[in-house]
Amino acid sequence: MKRLRVIEFEFGDAPFNMALDEAIMRSVGSGKSPPTLRLYGWDPPAVSIGYFQEIKEEVNLEFCHEKGIQVVRRLSGGGAVLHTPKELTYSFAVEANDPSVPQDIQGSYLKICAPIISALREIGVPASFRPVNDIEVRKRKISGSAQTRRFGAILQHGTILLGMDYSLLPALRVRAEKLAEKGAKDVAGRITTVAEILGKEVSHAEFSKILVRSFEDHFGAVAYSSDLSEDECIAPTLEERYRSIDWTFRR
């Protein structure tokens, strides 16, 4: 990979965030945009659910409504995630046949998570990969990713918990079976954040800078900041879908 386009950190609401990931993916997949790393945050807070999940099983809708937490269905599979404004979210899109990303799913998760692990280690967080798609510190999850492959592209997006607003965790309905398996009593007990590990806050801007450099190293690419291309500005029309009841409640 020669050049990596970076869409700099910005907060967005949930439907916008998911629509823009899709717009970028479509553009990259059709060869109109180069490989792209986008950094973003969620404001207001939101729950995103996986493509195959049943919304009423995963989300405490009443609590979300009360607290102003948005709910959005992702294009990617995987589990439900609570996104609070302290999280840094990334999305990484390449053409489906880009030689810098392995074709096998497990290998590709590892390849795209590697720069995140390096960046976390650089600031003193002893992170390691947990297959299939998590990054952990001392057995607690600090980052989770999900991939979708369509429109001629591979998109991987995921969380990096710089911090977390634990008071919003009741937004997720978590089954007892699932927690028992991972050896933790509740969700709060199986995640951790950069702020907790280091005992100080690391800003979105600060970590973004380190992360971009780490992606450059791992992909042997030169990163450059760029605006969205014209066809990526279709995000507002895609946004309609992510805001719609049909899409959100389809399962």
Partner 1 sequence: MERELVRKFKDGKLVKVKIVLEGGLIKDAKITGDFFAHPEEGIEIIEKELIGKDLCNARQAIESAIGGITLIGLRLEDLVAMVQECLDR
* Residues at the interface with partner 1 (CB under 8 A): 50-54, 57, 75-80, 105-106, 132, 146-150, 175, 177-178, 181-182, 251
d(CA 196, CA 60): 26
CB of residue 176 vs partner 1: minimum separation in angstroms? 10
Chain centroid, CA 199 distance in Å? 24
Is the separation of the CB atoms in 7 and 228 below 8 Å?
A: yes
Residue 193 CA, distance from chain mean position: 15
The tokens for 67 are 């607290």
Q: Could you tell me the CA-to-CA distances from 198 to 138, 162, 211 in Å, in that order? A: 13, 10, 17
For residue 10, the SS3 value is strand
Lateral strand order in the sheet of 134-137: 128-130, 134-137, 140-150, 153-161, 87-95, 36-42, 3-12, 222-225
CB of 177 to partner 1, least distance (A): 5
CB of 98 to partner 1, least distance (A): 16
β-pair partners for 222 = 3
The least CB distance from residue 131 to partner 1, in Å, is 8
| Minimum distance, C-beta of residue 52 to partner 1, in the bound complex (Å) | 5
Instruction: Give the rounded distance of the alpha carbon of 180 from its chain centre.
Output: 25
Give SS3 for 196: helix
Nearer to partner 1, 150 or 213 (CB): 150
1: tokens are 């990979």
**Shortest Cβ distance from residue 146 to partner 1 (Å)?**
7
